[in-house]
Structure 1
Amino acid sequence: MGTNGFDFARGNLSKLTRLPLYALGKPAQWLIPRTPKQWVFGSGAGVAQGAWELWQEVARREPMARMVWLVANDAQEDQAREAGIDWVYAQSWRGFWRTLRAKTLVVTHGLGDVNRYASGGGYVVQLWHGIPLKRIHLDSPATLNLGRRVPAVVTALLRRLYRAGSRRISLFPVPSALVASRIHSAFDLPPERILISGDPRDEALVSGSKRERAALACRVLEGAGVVGAEDSGRRVVLFAPTWRDGDQDPAVPGPQERDALQGLAEELDLIIVVRPHPLGVGSYRSALAGADRLRMADSEAVADVNQILSGVELLITDYSSVAMDYSLTGSHLVWFAPDREEYERTRGLYEDYATTTGEHEKDWAGVVERVREALSVPDGATARASLLATRSLRDRFFDVTEPGAPGRVYDAILADRTPGQHRDEESVYQPQAGADVREAEPVASDVASSEPMTPGPVVFFESFYGLRANDNPAGIDAALARLRPEVRRIWSVASEAVQVPSGAEQVVEGTPAWEAARRDAGLFVLNDWLRTPVPRPGEQKVLQTWHGTPLKNLALGRPKVGLRTRLAILKQSRRWDALLSQNPYSSHRLATDYAFRGPVWELGYPRNDRLSPADPAAARAAARVDLGLSAHARVVLYAPTWRDDGRIVLDGAGIARVQRALSAADSIGAAGSGGEGTEGDDVVILVRAHSRVAEGLGDAGAGTAVRDVSGENGLERLLLAADVLVTDYSSVMFDAAVTSIPMVFHVPDLELYRDSQRGFGLDFETRAPGPLTRTEEELVQAIRAASTGDAEFEWRYAAWRADFTPWDDGAAGERVVRRLEAEGFLR
């Protein structure tokens, strides 16, 4: 745990235990009038983070205003004393009274920056404390963490508390429409409360000349004792990692890494300043001990990091918003994320990390080299590319870079609080601008026309909760693009990094453009649960395609389904207007497990249309070229499903052992027959982890012989390229039959999965179209036998194809489109 001992779970439990205090504060908020001339300010970072800049603006513009800073601890008290301003403790009776009387409340983190129990009815200005790359507030699963299993009603209550706090926000300044869309989503704020004005906290980065800003940074570092007279002329490199919800920061350098950083600083005559997040100081102090060129500058020493950024030659960071602020300097930036996969899984990002960073390092050795490349040859190509990347980051996240943000925010507050006045309309966030919508590519037409096109139907697609743009929805999208080009095809995605089909539009979930697209759509096509009701019930249709023929029991068919879950399942299936099925077995199973009473369209799976190419040999060759596979390699595709308890039955090390055993057997066989043997890489295992499995199952020391292809958008190209499929209980076993690929089922946990966890809808052991294996040795033998054909399972395979792929003939997508037309779903 972090040294401060704080994390979301503890903070949330504290919120719940303080509920009675909110109730006690209500009567006072109703009875005591607020005074327009009274202001309260607070910040989780101290006298900093834009609240201080706004304080100075109010003091200049409104000399008679009565202002007080609410502090949380002794360090903040010292900062207020040093600034010469009036202060009281936020959680004291005086803090309660001053908050209760103030008309305007200025915060940077949350209502706890002032006195939260007296905040109701005040005009709350939320300046926030950074441009979010990581998901925040209601957008982040970490926000509602309680650290233990709790009843759903408790989590729901906590969510209501967060939403109630968000509703109190009156004004939220941001620097761009891109940032506004994220704030709109995270805080569920009406657009008119979001102001594109620039961030007051960035005033130190845009005011005055470059020389003046650098001089200020130097004075702050000297005043904090971080640098001294002996450091004159030395360049400053800053390392500023973010917080990890109380967990230990994996970037804390060990002794060898510390020595490498010290050596780099001596080599390039640098001072390397480390500034951990205020909530994650961790072990940095002890880690830096003994290295005189490595200095600490925590939040107690330097309350406002933005005041030193203009004196920094290069910034090293991970997911911290300090990177966006630093981009205003135009200097070098190195991204360092040793725990990228874990952080993305637990916290979530608003866009793919690479979209923001371009490239990033995973260890300190890579960071040292990147710093050396950027700073050793200032005019070199590497240095120029580094500066260009920083400026590109600035251009993405800042629409407003001119100084004066505190004044613009004050003007907006004054306009809101003064009857008859209005804010500058151009500064108010306009979600209809559609910043998150990708423009559709023009549709080619054989006939030119000067007449305007009549707007066509709007279809809203979603696949796996927006994490991908694939599966059956993508197959239907392709058929629509071919057969009904006038249809407007819009894809809901979790981040901008999810690529959508050509000619379709992309909307990021939760943004104003996403909400508008949902309202405009006449048809929703999805392959998993519809998490929110359709905006216009009765007018909009929902086609549920699902995502595979189920071997395992689903929904109501699962054992021990509680009442709450049953009600949720029934509520879900009532939202569907039609259910797509791959085969007669699925028609019955899906309708039964979801108690679906509507029409079941048994038309085959559009996602499998690509598995029936006109020229299978050419399609196989093309798939291998696309995947970078040798035409002569023996390719095994391993595509397991997920387990409810998170178990992985064959991890990366096990897969590598299987690959080595297969390669060794092939080499022996080739040598025994007079051949020269084969290289180990001639047997390649492609690992396609389920979307709900966070861990990559691929490379474990086997080099290119084991490849993690979990990022592949669909299974179709993988199935076309492979010689053997290894799976367990995944629905891929039904789709793979379209290609006639040999299948092996690795099921060491068969009894547990079948009898205790999920159960099956058919007699899997007697009907499986391939051998069942329990050990790695059995798996190796089965793969070798399957790759050369196995007559024992030929009759089973033929029956499997007849039962489960009768409609997968390459035309399922067209059949679905024609059914949509016939049923009036395209309007």
Structure 2
Amino acid sequence: MSYYGQQYGGNPKYISDYFIKNDRFQRFDLVWGVSKTTEFILPPRIKKVRLFSFKTLRMLATSKVIITNYRLPDYFIKREGQHYIQTWHSSLRLKKVEKDAEAALPASYVKMAKRDSKHTDLILSGSRFSTETIRRAFWYKGDILESGMPRNDMLLQQNELKKKEIKLQIGASNEAKLLLYAPTFRKTFKAEDYKLDYSMIQHIMEQKTGDKWTILVRLHPHLIQHSKDILSGKDVIDATAYPDIQELLAVADICITDYSSLMFDYMITKKPCFLFVPDLETYKKDDRGLYFTPEELPFPIFKKAEDLLGLLQEFDQNQYRKKVQQFTDSVGSYDDGTAARQVYEHIDNICFRAKRSEWNEAI
């Protein structure tokens, strides 16, 4: 299950995809929980159940392994012998979470999180920093798999055929370079906090690289109503409805975001990432607090849209890569492109190690 059944995405998707590709003898039945109000396409191998239905309750009660990236509510009662894996979302994040931000969280969520952690058998970690955060702030004393994030595997795997397919699906030329702009949602909307001069960005990048550039804009769902204020211009593609942000990151040659944790996913590619933070001082005062301020990160930041143009012209790729490497070393990144395989091997061991032991004794 992923994001409350709203999509086939996140770490659970990439674990499922690995099972589909590598479980050749179909020893595992794959079942996906889907929200009652959402429709999306699942791979043929995966069965669908509607959340809160009798079938879902039955699957939760009888499944050997349960994988999710969100806290399960009270109706989940773990039975003896079940193995519950919490993948969480990303390897790093700006805003503090769980116990580190307990004072700013609803009491009902804290109660649910504590209960969920008590039932959890394994949490995935994408970095040494995250492992320390899980130990300190997740009300959790169980096992941690320091595998990296399965959703980041594809960012480290050079699958050119897949990238061509993604470009075709979003309507971009295979020859074009892509700049992805993916702003997050603020509680108070101000158009100036989001608007960029796409035509000038394209002009500068085409002069600098000699390539044709297309802009992809991926809006938060809560920003769709303001899309006319943010989207405009030639060779600008609205990628908001594209189902998987990781695939957009995989094909992007440059990424611009603000406070989204996707910056940390994209960071492992060592391709340029810029942060547009016009409301930085306000954001720093967030009641949850921050693990890092944007100034501590390796990404160039700008507070005025016009300042991006100078950053693009003066960008030094070698210097940027050094800063990214220093930061990834400091947080102890585990992403190496093998996370889904490690989870698969863990589950295979959980489900079949007893039988293997019997086979060994028989031999």
2:115 equivalent in structure 1: 571
The equivalent residue for 2:31 is 490
Determine the structure 2 residue equivalent to 1:558. Answer: 101
Contact 2:126 2:147 in 1 (8 A): yes
Provide the C-alpha distance between the structure 2 equivalents of 1:804 and 1:475, rounded to a whole number of angstroms. 23
Q: Are 1:640 and 2:195 matched, yes or no?
A: no
Distance 1:825 1:705 in 2: 52
Q: Secondary structure at the match of 1:757?
A: coil
Alignment check: 8 A CA contact 2:71 2:112 kept: no
Amino acid at match of 1:587: T
Alignment match, 1:609: 153
Taking the aligned partners of 1:602 and 1:743, their CA distance within structure 2 comes to 25
Deviation at 1:592, TM superposition (A): 2.2
User: Partners of 2:104 and 2:93 in 1: how far apart?
Assistant: 18
Check conservation: 1:687, 1:698, Cα contact below 8 A.
no
Whether the aligned pair in 2 keeps the contact of 1:467 and 1:493 (CA below 8 Å) is yes
Secondary structure at the residue paired with 1:686?
strand
Q: What code does the residue aligned with 1:520 have?
A: T
Q: Cα deviation per residue 1:693-729 (whole Å; 9 max; x = unaligned)?
A: 3535645562553323222222222112212111122
Letter paired with 2:68: L
Match of 2:305 in 1: 776
The correspondence for 2:64, drawn from 522, 526, 531, is 522
Q: 1:505 aligns with which of 36, 47, 64?
A: 47
Contact 1:469 1:501 in 2 (8 A): no
Counterpart in 2 of 1:101? none
Aligned twin of 1:814? 341
Residues 722-761 of structure 1 aligned to structure 2 (within 5 Å): 722-761=252-291
Distance in 1 of aligned mates of 2:113 and 2:202: 47
Q: Could you tell me whether the CA contact under 8 Å between 2:61 and 2:79 is conserved in 1?
A: no
TM superposition shift of 1:664: 4.8
Equivalents in 2 of 1:684, 1:620: separation in Å? 15
Alignment of structure 1 residues 405-444 onto 2, 5 Å: none
Give the Cα–Cα distance (whole angstroms) in 1 for the partners of residues 233 and 146 of structure 2. 43
SS of residue in 1 equivalent to 2:268: helix
Q: What letter corresponds to residue 342 of structure 2 in structure 1?
A: R
Partner Cα distance (1:737, 1:638) in 2: 15
Q: Give the gaps of 5 or more residues in structure 1.
A: 1-461
Q: Deviations over 1:38-61 (max 9, x none)?
A: xxxxxxxxxxxxxxxxxxxxxxxx
Q: Can you list the C-alpha shifts for 1:401-429, whole angstroms capped at 9, x where unaligned?
A: xxxxxxxxxxxxxxxxxxxxxxxxxxxxx
Q: Write out per-residue CA displacement over residues 618-671 of structure 1, whole angstroms, 9 at most, x where no aligned residue.
A: 55444323322123434211223344x35467666x14xx2033245467x58x
Q: Supply the AA of the counterpart residue of 2:304.
A: T
Cα deviation for residue 477 of structure 1 reads: 0.8
For residues 606 and 646 of structure 1, what CA distance do their matches in structure 2 show?
33
- One of 690, 709, 716 as aligned partner of 2:246: 716
What's the secondary structure of 1:776's corresponding residue? coil
Quote how far apart the aligned CAs of 1:690 are: 3.6
In structure 2, the CA distance between the partners of 1:810 and 1:663, relative to structure 1 (3 Å rule), is closer
In the TM superposition, what is the alpha-carbon distance from 1:467 to its structure 2 partner?
Answer: 0.6
SS of aligned partner of 2:264 = helix
Indicate conservation of the 8 Å contact 1:689/1:696, yes or no: no
1:806 CA displacement: 4.0
Is 2:270–2:321's contact at 8 Å kept on the other side of the alignment? no
Distance 2:258 2:245 in 1: 15
Contact kept? 1:525, 1:544, Cα under 8 Å = yes
Q: CA shift at 1:525, angstroms?
A: 0.5
Deviation at 1:529, TM superposition (A): 1.6
Q: CA deviation at 1:506?
A: 1.1
**How far apart are 1:472 and its partner, in Å?**
0.5
CA deviation map 1:515-549 (0-9, x unaligned)? 33222212210111212442443342211100112
- When residues 581 and 634 of structure 1 are mapped into structure 2, their CA distance, relative to the original with a 3 A threshold, is same
Aligned 8 A contact 1:738 1:805 in 2: no
| Identical-residue share of aligned pairs (%) | 24
Asked whether 1:630 is paired with 2:173, we answer yes
For the 8 Å contact 1:734–1:805, the answer to whether it is kept is no
Q: Which amino acid aligns with 1:602?
A: E
Specify the code of the residue in structure 1 equivalent to 2:280: L
Partner of 1:42: none
1: CA distance between counterparts of 2:352 and 2:183? 35
3-state SS of the aligned residue for 2:157? coil
Q: CA deviation at 1:812?
A: 1.1
Query: Judging changes above 3 Å, is the alpha-carbon distance between structure 1 residues 591 and 698 closer, same or farther for their aligned structure 2 residues?
Result: farther
- 8 Å contact 2:127–2:332 — kept in the other structure? yes
Aligned to 1:756, what secondary structure does the other structure show?
coil
Aligned partner of 1:70 in structure 2 is none
The total of aligned residue pairs comes to 348
The higher radius of gyration belongs to 1
Distance change in 2, residues 1:631/1:782 (3 Å): farther
AA aligned to 2:7 is R
Residue identity matched to 2:65:
L
Residues 581, 602 of structure 1: 8 Å contact kept? yes
- Return closer, same or farther for 1:629/1:737 CA change in 2, 3 Å cut-off: same
Q: Tell me, in whole angstroms, the C-alpha distance in 2 between the residues paired with 1:704 and 1:574.
A: 52
- The answer to whether the 8 Å contact 1:534/1:540 transfers is no
> Structure 2 vs 1, CA of residues 821 and 648 (structure 1 numbering), >3 Å: closer, same or farther?
farther
* SS of match in other structure, 2:285: helix
The residue type paired with residue 524 of structure 1 is: I
Are the equivalent residues in 2 in contact too, given 1:603–1:812 (CA < 8 A)? yes
The C-alpha deviation readout for 1:246-271, integer Å capped at 9, x for no partner, is: xxxxxxxxxxxxxxxxxxxxxxxxxx
Match of 2:132 in 1: 588
Question: Residue 816 of structure 1: CA displacement?
Answer: 0.9
The separation in 1 between residues aligned to 2:181 and 2:216, in whole angstroms, is 6
Matching residue of 2:357: none
Question: Does the 8 Å CA contact 1:698/1:706 hold for their aligned counterparts?
Answer: no
Aligned counterparts of 1:478 and 1:689: Cα–Cα separation in 2? 26
Quote the offset at 1:510 in angstroms.
2.4
Q: Does structure 1 residue 479 correspond to structure 2 residue 37? A: no
Per the alignment, residue 89 of structure 2 pairs with 547
Check if 1:598 corresponds to 2:142: yes
Amino acid at match of 2:85: L
Instruction: Answer 1 or 2: higher relative contact order, Cα 8 Å, separation at least 6.
Output: 2
CA contact (8 A) 2:2 2:69 kept: yes
Report the RMSD for the aligned CA atoms in angstroms.
Answer: 3.1
